[in-house]
Structure 1
C-alpha cells in the first residue's frame, strides 16, 4: 500500500460526491508502472465476468498527478456487515467492502494493486497485536473537524456551517477516532438548560443524539478507543461554573462508564491501547477549560490545535509543517492538526469559498502530506473526510511501526 502503482478511492467533497481514483504514478525499480486505472463494482479476482461491472477505465499516463475524478456518484444506501445504525444484528468485525474497487494494471493488463473502498469499524481491535503496546499520543488518529456539524443547520447557513456529510455513527463506522465537538447551552421554556452542538453561533443538533450514536457504536465495537474533544463552548459567550458542572455531570451520566481516568503516572504520550483495554474503557475526554480538568480526573487537558485560519492551501501546509516542527508539539501528549481551510467573513457575505469548495481544495493533497509527515503526526482532522484516505493511511502507518 502507498507504493508504486498503489491505489485508493476517495469521494469528491463537492455536492455531486463523485468517486475519485487515486494512484501512485511512479514506476517501480522493475519498470512496472500503472498503465490503466479502472473502477469496478467488485473484486475482479474473485467474481465471474457476468457479475462484474466496469464503471470506468482510464490511461494513467494521461493523468500524471495520479488523480482522476469520475462521473460516478458515490451511493451509500446501506452500510455492509450489519453496520447500519438500526441493525439489530451484531456488526461483523474487520474491514467491510463497499461496491467500489479500484485496480491499477500494467500495459499487459497484469494487476499491480487492487483496493476496495471500505468501512473500518473495528480497526484498532483488528490490529491489537501491533497497536496494543503503542501510546495513543504516538498514533496517527484520524478525526473530523466540527464533527457533529453534519445535519440540521438552517438552509441559508448550510454552506458555511455543515463541515461533514456523514453522521457521527457513520464517521465512527468508517474509522474516525477523534471527534471535535463545540458545545452550546440554550434555555428551554421552563428555563431548563439544553445542550446542543453549535458551529459558532449557529445551532446544529442536540448533544443527546451525538451521545446516543457514540454509545451505540462502542457497545458494538468494544475495543475501539475514541478521543472526544470538548473543543469550544461558543454559547453563551460566558459559561458560568454551574453550566459547565451541569454539562460535565450530564456527560458523565451518559458516557461515564466509557471514560478513561488519567493518573499522575501516565506516560508523556498517554496510555497504551493495552492499558485502556485492560481498564475496559473506550473514551478519552478532553476539555478546553483547564480548571475543570483539575476538578474532574476523567477529563483530560485541552489539546493543542494547529488552526491556520486561511483560505490558501500552500499557507495551510506551511502553517501545519511549522507547528509539527515545534518542540512543544513533540512534547505534548496529544496534538491536533486542523487540516481545513476557513472562509473569511467577507467570503460569507459574498457567498464564495464555501466549505465544500475549500475542502475540495485541501483533501486531494492531505493524504500525501500526512504520508510525508508520518511519525510527527498525532490527530488529524478534515472536513468532508471521505475526500481523503487518512483512515486507511493511519491504519497502515500505525500497524507498520
Structure 2
C-alpha cells in the first residue's frame, strides 16, 4: 500500500481490493520427507506470515484452538480444522508486529475467523470459554495494542487517517459476545466460500455472489478449492498445493481488469491458498489504482455539475 498511498490514501479498506490468504498461518515448506496425507491436506501456504506480509498480503485468516500440543506450555495454537500446526498464536502475532514496526505506512487485517478445540460452548463451561477468549484478546493486546484500529474509527476510515494515527491493524473476531465490550475488535469478515472441488463450479459461484452488496463489512472471496472427505482419504487431489496450482491461474484471469466476468469491479478481500502461484497481489494494486482514478473522475464531474 505504501507505494500506492498517494493515489489510494483517501479510500477505506471497504473500497479496496485486498489480497489475502486462506488459513494464513497453516504454512510449511514442501518436503518429500514430510509429504504425508495430513500435511498435504492441512498446509495451505508455503510462506511464513511475515513473508506473506512482505510479499504484499494484507488480510490474514486465522483459525485458533486452545489445546496442549506435544507438552508445550503454550495453549493457543494455530489449527486447520482438527489438525494443529507447528505455530502458536503468540509466534504468529510476533511476526505481524515485526512487519508493522518495519512498515509504518501499511494497513492490514487479522481475521480470527474460527475458534476450534477449546472454544466449543457445548464441550466446555461458559467460565472456561470466557477465560480462553480473554487469553486470545490479551495476547492480541500484548503484541499489537499500539496499532489496533479502535471501533470509534471504524471501517470507513481512510488509509491516510489510519496511517496518520498509527492505527493500522484491524482485528476481525468470530465471537460476537466480545464485540460490544472490546473497543478494538470488529465483526469477522464475511466469507464467500464456494465449498467445491470443481473449478467451473467455483467460477459460477462467484459469478452469482461476488457482486452482491455487502454494506459496512469486509467480505472475502475464498478462492480456494475444497477437498471432500472421501477425496482426502484416497488422495484424489494429490493435496491442497496441487488443487491451488489448478485453480489459481483461472482465478487470476477472473479478477484481471480485462476479464469479461467483471470480478475486479466488485472484489473486496480475495484470499487464496499458496498465493505465490497467482498474481492477485499485482492485480489488487492495479485494481485499486483504477478505482482511485474512477473516484477522482466522479469527484470532478460532481464539482462541474455543482
TM range (shorter): 0.7 to 0.9
Residue 376 (1) aligns with residue 304 (2)? no
Secondary structure at the aligned position of 1:218 is classed as helix
Secondary structure at the aligned position of 2:183 is classed as coil
Residue 396 (1) aligns with residue 286 (2)? yes
Secondary structure at the aligned position of 1:184 is classed as strand
Q: Relative to total residues, which structure has the larger helix share, 1 or 2? A: 2
State how far apart, in whole Å, the 1-side matches of 2:217 and 2:232 are.
36
- Pick one of 242, 247, 252 that aligns with 1:367: 252
Secondary structure at the aligned position of 2:180 is classed as helix
Secondary structure at the aligned position of 1:227 is classed as strand
1:244 aligned residue: 133
Q: Which has the larger radius of gyration?
A: 1
State how far apart, in whole Å, the 1-side matches of 2:72 and 2:277 are.
42
State how far apart, in whole Å, the 1-side matches of 2:231 and 2:285 are.
36
- Pick one of 216, 226, 237 that aligns with 1:342: 226
Contact preservation (8 Å) 1:144, 1:382? yes
Cα offset, 1:188, TM superposition: 7.1
Residue 352 (1) aligns with residue 229 (2)? no
Change (3 A) 1:129 1:246: same
Q: Relative to total residues, which structure has the larger strand share, 1 or 2? A: 1
State how far apart, in whole Å, the 2-side matches of 1:312 and 1:126 are.
37
Cα offset, 1:367, TM superposition: 1.4
1:103 aligned residue: none
Contact preservation (8 Å) 1:142, 1:177? yes
Change (3 A) 1:275 1:146: same
1:261 aligned residue: 150
Unaligned runs of 5+ in 2: 122-128, 257-261, 293-306
Change (3 A) 1:188 1:140: closer
State how far apart, in whole Å, the 2-side matches of 1:190 and 1:341 are.
34
TM value normalised by structure 2: 0.84
- Pick one of 221, 224, 240 that aligns with 2:103: 221
Residue 300 (1) aligns with residue 186 (2)? yes
After TM superposition, the structure 1 = structure 2 runs for residues 75-90 of structure 1, keeping only pairs within 5 Å, are: none
Secondary structure at the aligned position of 2:51 is classed as helix
Q: Which moved more, 1:295-304 or 1:138-147?
A: 295-304
Q: How many residues are paired up?
A: 273
1:166 aligned residue: 47
2:301 aligned residue: none
Secondary structure at the aligned position of 1:198 is classed as strand
Superimposed CA distance per residue, residues 111-145 of structure 1 (whole angstroms, 9 cap, x where no aligned partner): xxxxxxxxxxxxx1111111110111110000000
Q: Which runs of 4+ in 1 moved over 2 A?
A: 151-156, 187-193
